[in-house]
Structure 1
Amino acid sequence: MVNDTSGSVHTGLSMSELAPNGTLSPHVHSYEEGFYILAGRAIVSIENRSYLLGPGDFGALKVGTPHAWRNAGGEPVRWLQMAAPQPKPAGQGRDTFFLKDGSIPTDATPLDPANVQGHLLGHFDVGQIPRGDEGRMTGGLQGVFLKWMIDEKLGARHHRMLFIEYQPGVSIGLHDHTFEESYFILSGEVEATLDDRTYLAKPGNVLWTGVGCVHAFANVGKAPVRWLETFSPQPPAENVFRFAAEWEQRAQELEGH
């Protein structure tokens, strides 16, 4: 969905699906991989341990970590997948390597986020969004709920993945970043302005902003809008946002206009 053909140099965003009885043999990547399960159930083997994962479960696989997938149900399992650094374009070198004589277990226990033995796994779904103002951002972003899922605290080193909700009427002004972002709309609608062009994004739509792309978002509908968002590379410790309005105001103060 987002790769070098999109103009990106840092993001590898894709949708993966395994049919019933489908498997993905044990392998490793020379990039970090994050995932969020949208539908279905899968047995995911990471190194020497296996987990039964379902909707709302997420994880990050560090560079070089052996892993494998098996569909564990009667319906397709589908997940959003993020790779960083960006996988190499076709024909420009290998970055995925399959293990010799690898096997995938046929059963596993459901994920317990409190018992993952150092693996980078967790769970978050819409039912965990707090009511009222609890857990919501304040100041200029009131009405925004943000849940960090994959980040430095979890143990990822090349990307972040987060869950965002904007209540009706909520917006964020024009700004840009030193990193790329991608957005996969889960529910609701959002008006997105990207470098002076405006789009109405709906469930299943994907947006992407490159470094320096000036963008803004507004929930112009009557229902909350929710999406999964990725950052790559990970943001700096300071000056994560550069808001156009703030710098215009500062310019006026400095230049005496």
Structure 2
Amino acid sequence: MARFVVRRAAEAQYEDPGHLAPGAVGVTRWRGVGEADGAAHTDFGITRLAAGGRTATHVHSFEESFHVLEGEVILATPEATVHLVAGDYGVIPIGVPHVWRSAGDQEAAWADLFTPPARERYGSDTYQVPEIPERDPISVDTRDPRTRSFGNITDEHMNPGGQSQELLAVSASSS
């Protein structure tokens, strides 16, 4: 039996993420597909963070991957505080404390994927933990081991003329 979920972006309803983002101010999320849809392995959505918004520091019992669609946001983990911009992506492994904070005076949005999906009946498998101290943010840099869980991809990276092995080798070693 095949099951499909089709949702139109124009019909997206952004809501308070509840337990997924404890202590959140200015955070909304649209769940495109999740446990309620029968998705046993995936919860996909888009999160929006208003200017001045933030979450409290928290951990999840699932992996969180994301791709920044618009705006700027700060993501702090015990390893680094990273300034993310449109095109940046990353992964937050299971159990890693993290906090999302607004950067700048505009709303930010990112697509996120939780694997396995958060289970609402268990508080969305999310737990608030002690705050991560504020530090000066760094940018995503593929050479910096503190940002090894992050990268950047934009439309410019998709130019077939810039994808020869020679150019890719230069790009990977000097980005």
With the length of structure 2 as denominator, give the TM-score of the two structures.
0.69
Match of 1:64 in 2: 95
Judge which range, 90-99 or 75-84, deviates more.
Answer: 90-99
Equivalent residue for 1:96, pick from 126, 133, 151? 126
Structure-2 separation of matches of 1:76 and 1:111: 20
Q: Secondary structure of the equivalent of 1:20? A: strand
Structure number with the bigger relative contact order (C-alpha 8 A, sep ≥ 6) is 2
Correspondence for 1:180: none
Select which of 153, 165, 171 maps to 1:124.
Answer: 153
In proportion to residue count, which structure has more strand?
1
In structure 2, do the counterparts of structure 1 residues 104 and 54 end up closer, same or farther at CA, with 3 Å as the change threshold?
farther
Cα deviation for residue 111 of structure 1 reads 1.7
Q: Which has the higher helix share?
A: 2
Q: Deviations over 1:77-121 (max 9, x none)?
A: 100000001111x22455101113x14627412221221336411
Which runs of 5 or more structure 1 residues have no equivalent in the other structure? 136-257
Aligned residues: CA RMSD? 2.0
Whichever residue aligns with residue 14 of structure 1, its letter is G
Partner of 1:80: 111
SS in 2 for 1:117: helix
Provide structure 2 residue ranges, at least 5 long, that are not aligned to the other structure. 1-31, 165-175
- Quick one: distance in 2 between partners of 1:79 and 1:118? 18
Residue 34 (structure 1) aligned with residue 48 (structure 2): no
Q: CA deviation at 1:2?
A: 0.6
What CA distance in whole angstroms lies between the structure 2 residues aligned with 1:71 and 1:30? 24
Aligned pair count reads 133
Distance of 1:87 and 1:65 partners within structure 2: 15
- Report the equivalent of 1:18: 49
CA distance in 2, matches of 1:21, 1:34: 23
The 5 A counterparts of 1:145-156 are: none
Q: Give 1:105's match in structure 2, choosing from 131, 134, 149.
A: 134
Larger radius of gyration: 1
